[in-house]
Chain A
């Protein structure tokens, strides 16, 4: 058992770094794309809203594995992609392709989550911001977006875990992240359950960190709902 741990933990940990990078980059890109799509959906422009709706239906209606294979194997078929250095740099290598597919996939789900958040912002809030003389962009940045984000955050926390889990599919296109290493270790050591348990525990810990980070952000965004403590008013009577 000790031998197995010594053999598998360092490799799974090096896989964890890849999983973290894949998840982080895809979430970062996917969030911004998703926000753009959510705004298109609510923009009132028929064309933009229609595009965003179709995008969301397409990416949420097909498996991530198909999207990944379509980008990795499918697009390599076209000469113009192979001949354009920038495109070929993106599509010829597993991990870059995985980030692309994951980001585009999560953008669809994120757009639905953020759309819900944006729609929950009362119209009066926007009107008040306009009445105060805020420009549309300033009102969005300071008023609407923070309120929408606060509403959408719990659901987005789940989405982050789905991205982390989804990054395991990168192992099917030669990227050695946690699941890729786990598969190799399973076939090398035959200690299938043990490897699963260690790899699974690493994923669960990573999820815990992700949920913790979201909770922390939520706690920060909800600070107006907490009684003042520390140097604030609430502490004063206790000191007296």
Chain B
């Protein structure tokens, strides 16, 4: 091959790829955090069977989990692009908005998808907590907030970790899809590199390797978390 890893290194693509990878991780982490917060709220709504809201959450998770991620990204991107451009132009920082805007849309879109999957995981974990624990806490007169913090959340977390690991793995891979909005994350950088050097193979192989590194490293992290939580249970 006349174009190899040496060229990628010499032409400064390595820096661009690393920056893209950092952006990928940033989008993934923020989306996952959003998914955890919304997923916990939605999961509690489903678990407590809050009237009306329960149906709204059901509709949300059914639609978001049943419709392709790409379609959701197009919906959020296209419907907000005009709005944001107008607002930004009115305040005179159109250029600044372009970069930040794609990032925000990416986090919101991927976070919305992660929320739907996290909701199901957390609802399942909540359902696995013995009813007697919550009843006992209530009988002791603990306030609702403390029951959640001391009784529900710790048990829920332990049961939910393997499921949340799956959500995270899916989320980090889903971030590749936001490259269609032009955000310069790992996939977009690889696409640009592939196009401008006319050597797509090496760029996509590098992208695949970086994604693999991210998923394998986080897998190890989750395995560790699972083991730590299990240890505490024993002690």
B100 to chain A, nearest CB (A): 21
- B71 x A168 contact (CB < 8 A): yes
For A168, list chain B residues within 8 Å (CB).
68-71
Contact flags A31-59 to B (C-beta < 8 A → 1, else 0): 00000000000000000000000000110
**Cβ-defined partner of A179 (8 Å) among B68, B194, B200:** B68
- A77 x B199 contact (CB < 8 A): yes
Measured CA separation A21–B33 after assembly (Å): 37
Measured CA separation A62–B198 after assembly (Å): 22
Query: Does A92 count as interface, using CB distance less than 8 angstroms?
Result: no
For A65, list chain B residues within 8 Å (CB).
176-177, 179, 187
Query: Does B54 count as interface, using CB distance less than 8 angstroms?
Result: no
**Cβ-defined partner of A74 (8 Å) among B67, B68, B74, B201:** B201
Main secondary structure of the interface of A (DSSP, over half): helix
Q: Known contacts A65-B177, A168-B71, A192-B79: does B212 contact A73 (CB below 8 Å)?
A: no
Query: Does A136 count as interface, using CB distance less than 8 angstroms?
Result: no
Query: Does A235 count as interface, using CB distance less than 8 angstroms?
Result: no
Q: Known contacts A65-B179, A77-B199, A192-B79: does B71 contact A70 (CB below 8 Å)?
A: no
- B174 x A63 contact (CB < 8 A): yes
For A70, list chain B residues within 8 Å (CB).
200-201, 204-205, 208
Q: How many residue-residue contacts, CB under 8 A, span A and B?
A: 115
Measured CA separation A179–B177 after assembly (Å): 13
Residue count of chain B within 8 Å CB distance of chain A: 37
Q: Known contacts A58-B212, A73-B194: does B180 contact A66 (CB below 8 Å)?
A: no
Residue count of chain A within 8 Å CB distance of chain B: 40
Q: Known contacts A70-B201, A165-B69, A193-B79: does B208 contact A186 (CB below 8 Å)?
A: no
A76 to chain B, nearest CB (A): 7
Measured CA separation A143–B126 after assembly (Å): 38
**Cβ-defined partner of A67 (8 Å) among B66, B71, B203, B208:** B208
Measured CA separation A218–B176 after assembly (Å): 35
Query: Does A187 count as interface, using CB distance less than 8 angstroms?
Result: yes
A177 to chain B, nearest CB (A): 10
- B180 x A73 contact (CB < 8 A): no
For B187, list chain A residues within 8 Å (CB).
63, 65-66
Q: 3 closest A-B pairs (Cβ-Cβ)? A: A168-B68, A63-B176, A74-B201
20 A-B pairs (CB sep. < 8 Å): A61-B216, A62-B208, A63-B177, A69-B190, A69-B194, A70-B200, A70-B204, A73-B201, A74-B200, A77-B198, A165-B66, A165-B67, A166-B68, A168-B71, A169-B68, A172-B70, A179-B71, A192-B75, A192-B78, A200-B71
